[in-house]
Amino acid sequence: MTREGLTACIDAGAGAVVAKSVNESAAARRQLDIADYAFVSGDRQVRPAGSARRDDGLLNRSGLAQVDLDDWLGVLAAAVEHGAARRCPVIGSITLGDATAAARIGHAMAGVVPAVELNIGAPHGREARAVRQLTEADAVHDAVRLVRATVDVPLFVKLPGQASDVVALAHAARSAGADAVGLVGRYPGFLPDLDGGAVLGSWGAWGSPACLPMSLYWVSKARLALGADVPLIGTNGARTATDVLRFLASGARAVEVVTALWVEGPAVLAELVAGAGAYLAARDGGVDGFVGSALAGAREYADIPPARSPAWLPYLACGPESSGR
């Protein structure tokens, strides 16, 4: 959200940096004043401030960067220049409020950044009137088409995981002109504290390492449906280099990381890039051969032959060694 933050991520070795989202709404900027973050352990304990761990879930309210668009374009331009010297593209981001306004902001951003990401899946959509979450293919198509028309640099569209058919949303984004598709955004969440209240005192946005397979589900399904020529960006749930590789194996060509960066600081980016890079360098076929490789080993249920000894058989055991039920 700041020039220093963007620069730190570039210097840490990120492949690319997506800047904080903006939109036209003053309410979305004001919302930052009520931002709050709760890191939640695997057994659902809220960690004291400052002791978050990388594997924690994160429940939060957040707002958008509190700067005017002109000032923000200045921050982006400086970061783009810093990144260019280090071969690290800096990408502008818009979170959808009004689509016509997003088109106007996208046009202005395209004057300073090499690509724009449009987030149409913000999990705060139901709580915050300043941002919208689109979950219907027609609505995605209409919004992306408006923004596409004014943005003359590559346009990435980030989708929510909260739709019955996220692949249909990916098709809609592509048919409206998205160059790449991001899958998937975080989820709405709620966590009672059992003292008559709720953590954060409100609903919030939720993500955790346990969300990873849910993200990979839609990345892999989109890869199958859209084909290898459509660049996919995986996001939501990556904490380690192995998680990054799982996104690639599912079909993503890039992976976005926020929570691990928040907890560990920019050094985690170097760790993830080096870890994934070392694995890929030691393997035949390079990155291209690895992206989507897990799909070769994944079948529809109907194509799986019955096992001679069904895997569920042990669950029926009730001899003297069992629980006796």
Ligand X SMILES: Cc1cc2nc3c(=O)[nH]c(=O)nc-3n(C[C@H](O)[C@H](O)[C@H](O)COP(=O)(O)O)c2cc1C
What single letter denotes the amino acid at residue 202? S
* Piece of the chain touching ligand X by CB under 6 A; list 4-12, 24-32, 55-63, 141-149: 55-63
Residue 56 touching ligand X (CB under 6 A)? no
Give the residue from 45, 237, 218, 65 showing the smallest Cα distance to 135. Answer: 218
**Site track for ligand X across 19-38, x = CB under 6 A:** -xx-----------------
Residue 160 touching ligand X (CB under 6 A)? no
Nearer to ligand X by Cβ, of 243 and 308: the residue is: 243
Q: How far is the CB of 66 from ligand X (least distance, A)?
A: 12
Sheet with 17-22, strands from edge to edge, namely 17-22, 90-95, 116-119, 155-159, 180-183, 232-235, 254-256
| Cβ neighbours for 226, distance < 8 A, ≥ 6 positions apart | 167, 170, 171, 174, 181, 232
Using alpha carbons only, what angle is made at residue 75 by residues 69 and 80, rounded to the nearest 5 degrees? 120
**Site track for ligand X across 177-216, x = CB under 6 A:** --------xx--------------------x---------
Nearer to ligand X by Cβ, of 122 and 176: the residue is: 122
Residue 162 touching ligand X (CB under 6 A)? no
Using alpha carbons only, what angle is made at residue 67 by residues 112 and 38, rounded to the nearest 5 degrees? 110
Give the residue from 146, 138, 135 showing the smallest Cα distance to 102. Answer: 146
Residue 236 touching ligand X (CB under 6 A)? yes
Q: What is the C-alpha R_g of the chain? A: 21
**Contact pick of 29, 132, 158, 171 for ligand X (by CB under 6 A):** 158
Residues at the interface with ligand X (CB under 6 A): 20-21, 58, 60, 62, 93, 95, 119, 158, 185-186, 207, 235-238, 256-260
